Structure 1
Amino acid sequence: MSALPGRALILVENLSVPFDRRVWQECTTLRDAGWEVHVICPQGTKRDTERETIIDGVRIHRYPLKAATGGPAGYLQEYGTALWHTFRIARRLGRFDIVHACNPPDLLFLVALMLKRRGAKFVFDQHDLVPELYLSRFDRGEDLLYRGVCALERATYRAADLVIATNESYRRIAISRGGKRPEEVHVVRSAPAVERFRQVRPEPELKGGKPYLLCYLGVMGPQDGVDYALRALALLKERRTDWHAVFVGSGDTFDAMVQLSAKLGLTEYVEFTGRIPDEDLVRYLSTADVCLSPDPRNPLNDVSTMNKIMEYMAMAKPIVSFDLKEARVSAGEAAVYAPANDEAAFAGLIGKLLDNPEERARMGKLGQARVEGPLAWRESARVLLAAYAGLNPSGTGMSQ
């Protein structure tokens, strides 16, 4: 089933577009199916900086936004600003057949309610479980703010005509906690943009003069486990020093992780690149021998799909991960799994893979086959288009 033409508005707060790869894949999939697609999102800092632009037929409307720093108060300010700008732009753009809101935060349903009064259907694209994110990020327990984010999630579920979940764990939560009927929740898995992840010739000079390169790719926030990876590498260094590690990405804890690396005596072994262009990212991943997915088990990570795992598999790289439910669903035999949060075991598995090139190659091929087969975006695209068609069965979009 394919979607019929209509007018869709996608709301994003967490990242700019097209930098948000999942959202961009959704945009282009809908565009190719005949939808007129608009996006409201924040401006980027070094890219995606234009206020108004059309990219490959997708109309993008951006607003200025300063990312939060510190505790929950900073996020309240960030989210309030984003919500005001999103309302302002949405009012100007007029009526839509579908409004498609991506979280976090679980506040964009307020904009969706305004557009529903004009005839739109509301699709809630749940990228994160915000209550679990709050518990995992701030370590404040089930306090007043936690109860508040739970209330916002419930309100979003109630307002949604349809929920898009990134995996089966999220789908079960939307049904059990969110009260949605099974037919109202569709799994649209995130998948790497394969055109972005094409292997190039390995560059031994990236290994820092060592035989092996370890690579981490992703966000560096409190819940992302970079500190676990660094402590595991410190243990690995006690056994062997034939490796160099590169951490690609940025985030709230970037500076703290650089400091922790120095404190652990890893300065000569670990390199932090910050965010880098795609061509440099591909150079590092093409050269890497083992890739790291050190997300610790917590209420969020155990049921979340990690984009880094999917991207490592696209590059045919073996992975060391902690034993998380959805990590196993994604990676299967393309990863080896340390007991949850066990840094010594994590270090031991890195060492075993470094000593077994045949196993590394086998795992890499298995992972690549998964992202090019059952986990490919084309499978998710079919679900997305069928869901949209179900909400807009007449195909007589307002843009007609």
Structure 2
Amino acid sequence: MRIVMLTNAVAPDKLGGLERYVRELAEALQARGDQVLVIGKRVRPELPLHETGHDGVITARYRVPSKRNPLFVPLYPLVVAADVRRLLRRAGAGREDVVVHVHHPVPALVPMLLGVPYVYTFHAPVWREILPERHDAYFLPAPLGRAGVALFRRMEGLLLRRARLVITLSRFVRDEAIALGVDPARHRLVPGGIDGERFRPAGSPAGGPEGPRLFTARRLVDRMGIDQLIEAMPAILAALPGARLRIAGSGARRERLEALIERLGLREQVRLLGRIPDADLVEEYRAADLVVTPTQELEGFGLTTAEALASGTAALVTPVGANAEVVEGLSELLVSSDRSPSAIADAVVALFAQPAELTRIRGAARDHVLPRFGWDSVAERYATLYGEATGASDAAPGRSRTR
């Protein structure tokens, strides 16, 4: 198959969950023998507009206006649309042998307006993230905020309803898609993917006489729950005096988190690592006694949770979004009663109070997520859906990797 992935940005240009998902799915499909082109935005001016990766995946980058431009918000869709249109035409979008696979609503406007058929992986409702997560990235006058969100919600719903198929990574996001008007008959559930070769156990957890080592990898924005996890630490330390928390990730809330750590007197127990390389992320998962995902709002899949489990580490989550779906069936102890700091603290303490159960969870963790979340399995499922969307029979499997 010839597959065109249309997205916002792609790894390694940007290292978020969506960006990694698109790049790793493209790599897995390319490994099957498909031809994959990823069209994403140029996040830095030094990046080439066109390049081919070591795995054969081609990346084409579309131009975007500068965020320093006071007209950034109205200019953005116009500039993006013009460049994406050019790249789609060059890729042969609209031909029967080309599948257009959309991952983000803004560039998706182009194939919709051109009448090009597409499938849409709906990772999360972007309209719900515009103001709380992007308010410090560009200027948007307050009076325009609510109107802009309402308009974006209608646009996102229209894009979903026009798609041949709508794919979500969880039941939680499926319900969000249906709320935007998607016909359930056109919905398909395909879980998120993880690299089982990279995320795998190695040795024993680092915790010992000094106490358990907690870890989380999150963007430093409100909905990720880092504030609540830090606020849970005094209660955790009261029961587990040697506990330590390491936090990987960057974001606009770092200064506020640093102030919170200082105010609670946790400078020796809590460390903000900033953005860390992928290799260090793997080692942090392996070294941790427990990975905590304290999400407060919206969790489209729970990538951190799945990666931790694949690494043989127990993963504790809040009952928000798709988090609980990832640990479902492994242990009820892995889901806190609610998303509050006290509930998070209680769940952490309860888990370490049952060492035999914690050992069992670690032993079963990897098999819980693999091969079901492995990229080979996910890519084969997508290949079937591409055939369904285009009316073609599924392509014969090509080369395969252990993922």
TM-score, normalisation: structure 2: 0.81
The aligned counterpart of 1:35 is 34
Q: Would the alpha carbon gap of residues 254 and 193 (structure 1) be closer, same or farther in structure 2, given more than 3 Å must change? A: farther
Letter in 2 for 1:156: L
The aligned counterpart of 1:305 is 301
Q: Per-residue deviation at 1:45?
A: 6.0
The aligned counterpart of 1:199 is 201
The aligned counterpart of 1:11 is 6
Is 2:194 the partner of 1:157?
no
The aligned counterpart of 1:231 is 231
Q: Would the alpha carbon gap of residues 209 and 62 (structure 1) be closer, same or farther in structure 2, given more than 3 Å must change? A: farther
Deviations 1:307-335 (A, max 9, x none): 11111111121222222363222112355
Q: Is the 8 A contact 2:170 2:189 kept in 1?
A: yes
SS at 2:335 equivalent: strand
The correspondence of residues 12-161 of structure 1 with structure 2, limited to 5 A, is 12-16=7-11, 20-43=19-42, 49-55=47-53, 56-63=55-62, 82-95=80-93, 97-103=98-104, 106-113=105-112, 116=115, 120-134=116-130, 137=133, 143-161=146-164
Letter in 1 for 2:227: D
The aligned counterpart of 1:166 is 169
Q: Is the 8 A contact 1:17 1:60 kept in 2?
A: no
Answer 1 or 2: higher relative contact order, Cα 8 Å, separation at least 6.
1
Q: Is the 8 A contact 2:193 2:373 kept in 1?
A: yes
Which of 332, 340, 343 lines up with 2:341 in the alignment? 343
SS at 1:13 equivalent: coil
Q: Is the 8 A contact 1:290 1:354 kept in 2?
A: no
Q: Would the alpha carbon gap of residues 114 and 144 (structure 1) be closer, same or farther in structure 2, given more than 3 Å must change? A: closer
Q: Would the alpha carbon gap of residues 111 and 247 (structure 1) be closer, same or farther in structure 2, given more than 3 Å must change? A: same
Q: Would the alpha carbon gap of residues 128 and 380 (structure 1) be closer, same or farther in structure 2, given more than 3 Å must change? A: same
Percent of pairs with identical residues = 21
**CA distance, structure 1, for counterparts of residue 193 and residue 49 of structure 2:** 28
Q: Per-residue deviation at 1:249?
A: 1.8
More deviation in 283-292 or 374-383? 374-383
SS at 2:216 equivalent: strand
More deviation in 81-90 or 106-115? 81-90
Letter in 2 for 1:58: V
The correspondence of residues 198-217 of structure 1 with structure 2, limited to 5 A, is 198-202=200-204, 204=206, 210-217=210-217
Deviations 1:327-362 (A, max 9, x none): 222112355222222211211222233343322221
Q: Would the alpha carbon gap of residues 44 and 132 (structure 1) be closer, same or farther in structure 2, given more than 3 Å must change? A: closer
SS at 2:256 equivalent: helix
Q: Per-residue deviation at 1:67?
A: 9.3
Q: Per-residue deviation at 1:379?
A: 3.5
**CA distance, structure 2, for counterparts of residue 233 and residue 81 of structure 1:** 46
**CA distance, structure 2, for counterparts of residue 75 and residue 244 of structure 1:** 42
Deviations 1:367-394 (A, max 9, x none): 3111114444444323211111123345
**CA distance, structure 2, for counterparts of residue 315 and residue 394 of structure 1:** 38
TM-score, normalisation: structure 1: 0.81
Q: Is the 8 A contact 1:317 1:367 kept in 2?
A: yes
SS at 2:213 equivalent: strand
Q: Per-residue deviation at 1:209?
A: 9.1
Q: Per-residue deviation at 1:292?
A: 0.7
**CA distance, structure 2, for counterparts of residue 155 and residue 339 of structure 1:** 36
Letter in 2 for 1:214: L
Q: Would the alpha carbon gap of residues 44 and 200 (structure 1) be closer, same or farther in structure 2, given more than 3 Å must change? A: farther
**CA distance, structure 2, for counterparts of residue 348 and residue 84 of structure 1:** 52
Q: Would the alpha carbon gap of residues 266 and 191 (structure 1) be closer, same or farther in structure 2, given more than 3 Å must change? A: same
RMSD (Å) for aligned C-alpha atoms: 3.5
Q: Would the alpha carbon gap of residues 352 and 28 (structure 1) be closer, same or farther in structure 2, given more than 3 Å must change? A: same
Letter in 2 for 1:154: G
**CA distance, structure 1, for counterparts of residue 188 and residue 72 of structure 2:** 33
Deviations 1:265-324 (A, max 9, x none): 21111111122222222222211111111012x4x34xx321111111111212222223
Letter in 2 for 1:250: S
Q: Is the 8 A contact 2:65 2:72 kept in 1?
A: no
Note the residue ranges of structure 2 that are not aligned, 5 or more in a row: 136-141, 396-403
Q: Per-residue deviation at 1:75?
A: 6.7
**CA distance, structure 1, for counterparts of residue 192 and residue 224 of structure 2:** 18
The aligned counterpart of 2:187 is 185
Q: Per-residue deviation at 1:10?
A: 0.8
**CA distance, structure 1, for counterparts of residue 77 and residue 353 of structure 2:** 48
Note the residue ranges of structure 1 that are not aligned, 5 or more in a row: none
